[in-house]
């Protein structure tokens, strides 16, 4: 993509640079079974649009060669770049081989600006455009390093970085507030259930299901059109149980009707680093959708469990302790439909669930407000960056 600078930009000292002039790819490979390092970060641990890493695993969680990463280096999800995953490491460890580990080449760009540069729509749109492959589009370094971008002079870069760092501090406060809100929500439900239901009163989950848990379709994702079903995969669901809209893919309609999702169908991821991830389906979110094979569908008997109540239950430490004790396999932990059926849980009456939901929905509404403010703040950051970097570029 050819770009040109305006006369004013040229006069002000702007230049067009190749990405390889401001970043270098660090590709040191590590075998997880042979390292003394204690931290592993996969793409599932990275939050879209956030430079901060708040979750991590250990090398024992994974097999196959990974990438060495050091504090201050940038982890960029080269696979499915549309998920916009780029973060700065604050640890000494390894990361997914589906990422790139990058360092700034200080000279044409100042220290600290590259992560913000890579977060921008300008960079991410280009990253998506040069990705190769239809199922799991991936970026090659040889292609990325030749991409050209406009870059302001050093003094202007310092001004931009100062603004972005202050904006990041503001966004972090939103994230901290959101974490605290969700912590209080989980703590309320956990305390209430623990006090009300001693373990001898817990019952098997299948006593509250319409039918046995079901596995999804084993389809190859294709382009999503009016002629296909929406195909919901584990990777399309974020850690808050929401669909990632930019990840929409399709699946053929013929032969997949039995996997169609209906209101209040509940999905649980059954394998890998995402085991236990959940999603409560609403037709308004993704009409005419089916679900993939690494997800298990639950259909609740509404006389016993309100699906929304179970959604909140799956966020509590009670559920996650069960999952940790039940999931089999080291590198790729998994659960199956039979294990989910046998899960013992505390089940209040529907009336009691509704009363608890009044409180839980209050926390949820507060979370949505905080999340909305964060999104507005992020959009303002993107607008500022676009104006700062694109002004005058033809």
Write the pLDDT tens digit of every residue in 130-139. Answer: 999 876 789 9
For residue 320, being part of any structural domain is answered with yes
Instruction: Report, as an integer, the average pLDDT of 275-291.
Output: 91
Give whole-number Cα distances, 268 to 207, 278, 386, in Å: 18, 5, 39
Indicate the SS3 state at residue 74.
strand
Sign of CA dihedral 207, 200, 198, 179: negative
For residue 159, being part of any structural domain is answered with no
**Residue 72 near residue 197 (C-beta atoms within 8 A):** no
- Cβ partners under 8 Å of residue 240, min gap 6: none
Give whole-number Cα distances, 41 to 28, 101, 162, 291, in Å: 15, 12, 28, 27
| Residue 338 and residue 215 in one domain | yes
Q: How confident is the model at residue 394 (pLDDT cuts 50, 70, 90)?
A: very low
| Residue 206 and residue 320 in one domain | yes
Instruction: In whole angstroms, give the CA distance from residue 335 to residue 326.
Output: 7
- Look up tokens 């969680």; give the residue: 61
| Residue 16 and residue 104 in one domain | yes
| Residue 211 and residue 326 in one domain | yes
Q: How many CB atoms lie within 10 A of CB 217?
A: 21
How does 345-381 read in b/e, with b if 16+ C-beta sit within 10 Å? bbbbeeeebeebbeebeebbebbeebbebbeebbeeb
pLDDT of residue 146: 96
Torsion of CA 324, 326, 328, 330, to 10 degrees: 20
**Residue 144 near residue 62 (C-beta atoms within 8 A):** no
pLDDT of residue 246: 65
Domain of residue 103, CATH code? 3.90.220.20
Q: What is the tens place of the pLDDT at every residue in 310-324? A: 999 999 999 999 998
| Residue 131 and residue 227 in one domain | no
| Proportion of the chain above pLDDT 70, given as a percent | 96
Instruction: Report, as an integer, the average pLDDT of 68-92.
Output: 93
Indicate the SS3 state at residue 164.
helix
For residue 238, being part of any structural domain is answered with yes
| Proportion of the chain above pLDDT 90, given as a percent | 64
Domain count, the chain: 2
pLDDT of residue 260: 96
Please tell me the least confidently modeled range out of 19-23, 29-33, 60-64, 316-320.
60-64
Which residue, 88, 111, 139, sits at the end of a domain? 139
pTM for this model (two decimals): 0.73
| Residue 205 and residue 129 in one domain | no
Q: Which residue has the higher pLDDT, 88 or 329?
A: 88
| Residue 12 and residue 120 in one domain | yes
Whether residue 369 has pLDDT greater than 50: yes
- Count, residues in the chain: 394
Residues of the domain holding 203: 198-347
Which residue, 316, 332, 347, sits at the end of a domain? 347
């Amino acid at each position: 993509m050819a770009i040109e600078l305006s006369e004013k930009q040229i006069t002000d000292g702007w230049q067009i640079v190749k990405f390889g002039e401001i970043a270098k790819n660090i590709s040191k490979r590590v075998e997880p079974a042979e390292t003394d390092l204690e931290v592993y970060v996969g793409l599932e641990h990275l939050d879209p649009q956030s430079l901060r890493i708040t979750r991590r695993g250990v090398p024992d969680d994974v097999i196959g060669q990974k990438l060495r990463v050091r504090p201050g280096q940038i982890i960029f999800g080269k696979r499915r770049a549309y998920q916009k995953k780029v973060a700065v490491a604050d640890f000494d460890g390894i990361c997914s081989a589906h990422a790139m580990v990058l360092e700034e080449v200080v000279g044409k760009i100042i220290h600290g600006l590259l992560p913000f540069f890579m977060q921008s729509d300008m960079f991410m749109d280009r990253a998506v455009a040069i990705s190769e492959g239809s199922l799991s589009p991936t970026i090659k370094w040889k292609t990325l390093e030749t991409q050209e971008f406009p870059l302001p002079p050093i003094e202007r870069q310092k001004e931009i970085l100062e603004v972005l760092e202050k904006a990041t501090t503001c966004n972090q406060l939103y994230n901290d507030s959101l974490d605290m809100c969700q912590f209080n929500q989980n703590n309320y439900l956990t305390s209430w259930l623990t006090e009300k239901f001693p373990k001898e009163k817990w019952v098997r989950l299948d006593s509250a299901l319409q039918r046995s848990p079901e596995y999804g379709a084993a389809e190859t994702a294709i382009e999503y059109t009016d002629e296909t079903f929406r195909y919901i995969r584990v990777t399309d669901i974020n850690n808050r149980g929401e669909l990632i809209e930019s990840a929409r893919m399709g699946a053929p309609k013929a032969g997949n009707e039995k996997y169609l999702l209906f209101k209040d169908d509940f999905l649980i991821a059954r394998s890998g680093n995402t085991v236990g991830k959940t999603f409560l389906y609403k037709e308004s979110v993704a009409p005419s959708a089916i679900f993939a094979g690494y997800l298990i569908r639950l259909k609740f008997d509404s006389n016993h469990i309100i699906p929304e109540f179970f959604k909140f239950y799956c966020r509590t430490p009670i559920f996650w302790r069960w999952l940790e004790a039940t999931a089999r396999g080291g590198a790729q932990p998994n659960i199956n439909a039979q294990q989910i059926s046998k899960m013992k849980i505390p089940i209040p009456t529907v009336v009691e669930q509704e009363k608890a939901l009044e409180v839980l929905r209050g926390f949820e509404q507060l979370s949505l407000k905080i999340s909305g403010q964060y999104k507005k703040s992020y959009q303002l950051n993107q607008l500022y960056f676009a104006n700062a970097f694109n002004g005058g570029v033809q």
